Structure 1
Amino acid sequence: MIRESYFENLLAKEFEIEDLGDLKYFPRMEVSWSTEGICISQRKYILDLLEETSMLGCKPLDIPMDSNVKLGLDQDNSSVDKGYQRLIGKLIYLSHTRLDIGFSVCLRSKRQTVVVRSSAEAEFTALANGICEGMWIKRLLEELKFSIDSPMRIFCDNQVAISIAKNPVHHDMTKHVEIDHHFTKEKIDEGIITLGYMPTALQTADILTKAFPRVNFEEIKSQLGMLNIYSPT
């Protein structure tokens, strides 16, 4: 029986589908439902991986990477360890449900096409790209019949970049990124976006880009609402 929901009825008109109830398992993933939302984990996958590598008795680390470690060039010219490569591949797959250890921003990181002269200008260029991405997501949600009437709130941790975006007086500072300047200012004037300052200490997105000491790591995880659903209460 197809549930009485707009999305499912829409799919049923185009495709032959069968309602199997609430999702509980997806390849290598477990899904738990509660009144507070949906939790995704890979507990069984982790246990199987630990058993395969004879590490069931190991103690977990508090952080995915030491923030003080200094990496150097690999001087080992020995043959490739296929078992090690296979293990790395499994760990990469595991990180798909753990945004706190996946450093996910690296998946979309790329060199800016515009040469800038300061960190503020680099932030400003990234701000324009972020607005484009936000507008695309908004249009996608509207296509799925989610109504979004309020302006998108875009946060930036660089006050100079925010000032450039809001104040046309800074025209001389942004001649070489003029298209981004006009685009951002236009979206502010149209009420499509609003800009807000986000102090670096509260920048939760940083967990997606770099390693942190344990205290900072746990604080950001808490801000993101991430929790261990298997920990004793």
Structure 2
Amino acid sequence: MITRTKTGSLKPTARFNLLHTTSSQSDPTSYNEANKMLEWRKAMAAEFLALQKQETWQLVPAPINKQILGCKWTFRTKLHADGSIARYKARLVALGNQQEYGLDYVETFSPVAKLPTIRVLFTVALYHDWKIHQLDVENAFLHGDIQETVYMRQPKGFEDPANPHHVCLLHKAIYGLKQALRQWYTTFCNHLLKLGFLPSQADPSLLILHKGNTTLFLLVYVDDILLTGNDEGAISSFLQQLNSTFALKHLGSAHHFLGIRIQHNQDKYFLSQETYAASIIHQANLENCNPTANPSCTKLPAAINSSSSTMTDPSVYRQITGALQYLTITRPDIAFAVNTLSQHMHSPQDSHFFLLKRLLRYIKGTIAYGLPITKSDLRLTTYSDADWASDPITRKSTSGYCTFLGRTLLSWTVKKQTTVSRSSTESEYRALTAATADTLWLKRLLADFFISHDFPVDLHCDNTSAIALAQNPVYHARTKHIEIDHRFLREHISSGHLRLIPIKTEDQIADIFTKPLSTPRFKFLRDKLTIVSDPFA
């Protein structure tokens, strides 16, 4: 008997997984895919209308022997802080990777606000009981004019039927161009300068208006803006002036900035990235993992079975580790563990996969943790530490330091030193020098907020030899090669900018940034860093 099995016409049995929950639909990756859905067609039409209103380009015949850039549509679903859908966003992006330096662009650099500046802004506003307004600029890059002659093909799906072979001669810095960010920043800041704002000397992305009794502070991070000051009437008048030139959206009080959830009550801000942390755990497929209490371990197990791990692909290791670096904005307790993993991006071994999984298990158990900003005095305090020759291969030391403004943690750093130190004193001294430079910058930044800090900043160190070397004008044979750092640190101590204070090792907060710790010790220092669970939950 000739059956369908013998002829090969038997269809395979469809087996359905009734226990599987369907995940949310991902964003489309091409125009053809997006064009099948109504919400994305509306988003593309709205974007194209905005481009026409801004007179972004002019259709001209295709030139001969000229570079013509391509373009593509990108799609992203914008979410609220609680994970619900806010809107569907389509963006037309020029293929700037086809541009040639000197022909299509020259300068590309544009400053963005430094993260410690954002924390200082929240701390100062909380101290003075000022409201922080959050603004967003629609199609921000289209406000910047470009000086170069750049041609681009017409966007797919919106070709002019009368001139289908014409190309776009760009007048505005459309998204994707290498000079777009710089042109937007230049255009926006020049407009603010005309209104009386002046850039900060410590951070050019902070602009300050000080007229009479009115003081306003405006912080720019690409097209996301924070605005605060002591006069709500002046803020309202300024927003009306700004809205006449740029299409602004006033989002109310700061609540979700750069992916950071901002919660506020009368005397506290709480910054967290719970949704972002959950997305990283989902990417690693560890939603059901068992949490752990420590992000790192002081001793690796004798045998590591990598076959049982869900992350054995080096590209996945690099993706997740890179994503974790952004999580350290509000989670300094994982800064050392992320720094350790980041040093092995090129060739991760089984031990690094084990440490990455352990870190993700710790994040799973502390997913609601974040950084509080509390109302207190505005006095700077810095802690500096180093772990001598901690790298077993290069024998380089690890520096770690952090700075508080009152009880609020402003800045922290974990970094492997660039040179090998010949003694623990030298490694501690180099960490002190780096902490001094960061503290002096924060002191200048506070001066731009009109907060005088005339008294010396307390710099805590647990190495008595490094303190003696910094305070006593004696050059030893083993310290001749660090003379520049020696002069730099001693000059600021003698001038009264800093005051070195010895501290016990068990009270050294910066110890959490230099080495893996036991769980009780880690939790003790994490509490000193003020990293806590969501107090508003």
Q: TM-score, normalised by structure 1?
A: 0.76
> Which residue in the other structure is 2:331 paired with?
98
1:171 counterpart (472, 475, 495): 475
> Which residue in the other structure is 2:352 paired with?
none
> Which residue in the other structure is 2:25 paired with?
none
Which region of structure 1 is more displaced relative to structure 2, 5-14 or 134-143? 5-14
Confirm whether residue 200 of structure 1 aligns to residue 410 of structure 2.
no
User: Which of 1 and 2 has greater Rg?
Assistant: 2
Q: Which amino acid letter does the alignment assign opposite residue 213 of structure 1?
A: S
Which region of structure 1 is more displaced relative to structure 2, 121-130 or 142-151? 121-130
Matches within 5 A, 1:27-66: 27-50=258-281, 55-66=286-297
Are the counterparts in 2 of residues 96 and 102 from structure 1 also a CA contact under 8 Å? no
> Which residue in the other structure is 2:435 paired with?
130
Q: Which amino acid letter does the alignment assign opposite residue 38 of structure 1?
A: Y
2:418 counterpart (88, 103, 111): 111
Structure with the higher strand share, 1 or 2? 2
Aligned pair in 2 of structure 1 residues 218, 182: CA closer, same or farther (>3 Å)?
A: same
Aligned pair in 2 of structure 1 residues 182, 55: CA closer, same or farther (>3 Å)?
A: closer
In structure 1, distance between residues paired with 2:505 and 2:513: 14
Q: Which amino acid letter does the alignment assign opposite residue 62 of structure 1?
A: A
Which region of structure 1 is more displaced relative to structure 2, 53-62 or 197-206? 53-62
> Which residue in the other structure is 2:216 paired with?
6
Q: Which amino acid letter does the alignment assign opposite residue 529 of structure 2?
A: L
What is the SS of the residue equivalent to 2:520?
A: helix
> Which residue in the other structure is 2:517 paired with?
212
Aligned pair in 2 of structure 1 residues 153, 63: CA closer, same or farther (>3 Å)?
A: same
1:162 counterpart (456, 467, 472): 467
In structure 2, distance between residues paired with 1:87 and 1:178: 41
Aligned pair in 2 of structure 1 residues 176, 47: CA closer, same or farther (>3 Å)?
A: closer
Q: What's the offset of the Cα at 1:29? A: 2.8
Q: What's the offset of the Cα at 1:25? A: 1.6
Are the counterparts in 2 of residues 123 and 158 from structure 1 also a CA contact under 8 Å? yes
For the aligned residues, what is the CA RMSD? 3.8
1:183 counterpart (484, 488, 501): 488
Are the counterparts in 1 of residues 281 and 287 from structure 2 also a CA contact under 8 Å? yes
Are the counterparts in 1 of residues 263 and 271 from structure 2 also a CA contact under 8 Å? yes
Q: What's the offset of the Cα at 1:118? A: 2.2
Q: Which amino acid letter does the alignment assign opposite residue 61 of structure 1?
A: T
> Which residue in the other structure is 2:257 paired with?
26
Give CA-to-partner distance per residue, 1:94-127, whole Å, 9 cap, x none: 3432110122657643313xx7542213322332
> Which residue in the other structure is 2:425 paired with?
120
In structure 2, distance between residues paired with 1:48 and 1:128: 38
What is the SS of the residue equivalent to 1:6?
A: strand
In structure 2, distance between residues paired with 1:6 and 1:63: 42
In structure 2, distance between residues paired with 1:85 and 1:132: 31
> Which residue in the other structure is 2:52 paired with?
none
In structure 1, distance between residues paired with 2:320 and 2:289: 16
What is the SS of the residue equivalent to 2:488?
A: helix
Confirm whether residue 221 of structure 1 aligns to residue 526 of structure 2.
yes
Which region of structure 1 is more displaced relative to structure 2, 122-131 or 50-59? 50-59
Give CA-to-partner distance per residue, 1:52-108, whole Å, 9 cap, x none: 655444332111112211699xx99xx946555544444444343211012265764
Q: What's the offset of the Cα at 1:27? A: 4.2
Aligned pair in 2 of structure 1 residues 186, 37: CA closer, same or farther (>3 Å)?
A: same
Percent of aligned positions that are identical: 29
Are the counterparts in 2 of residues 2 and 18 from structure 1 also a CA contact under 8 Å? no
In structure 2, distance between residues paired with 1:204 and 1:101: 14
Structure with the higher helix share, 1 or 2? 1
In structure 1, distance between residues paired with 2:323 and 2:300: 23
Aligned pair in 2 of structure 1 residues 94, 183: CA closer, same or farther (>3 Å)?
A: closer
Aligned residues: 226
Structure showing greater relative contact order (alpha-carbon pairs closer than 8 Å, 6 or more residues apart): 1
Are the counterparts in 1 of residues 414 and 513 from structure 2 also a CA contact under 8 Å? no
Which region of structure 1 is more displaced relative to structure 2, 35-44 or 8-17? 8-17
What is the SS of the residue equivalent to 1:171?
A: coil
> Which residue in the other structure is 1:145 paired with?
450
Give CA-to-partner distance per residue, 1:165-215, whole Å, 9 cap, x none: 2122x3335443333333333322221111101222112112223221110
Q: What's the offset of the Cα at 1:228? A: 0.7
Which region of structure 1 is more displaced relative to structure 2, 183-192 or 103-112? 103-112
Aligned pair in 2 of structure 1 residues 59, 36: CA closer, same or farther (>3 Å)?
A: farther
Q: Which amino acid letter does the alignment assign opposite residue 482 of structure 2?
A: V
Q: TM-score, normalised by structure 2?
A: 0.36
Which region of structure 1 is more displaced relative to structure 2, 136-145 or 12-21? 12-21
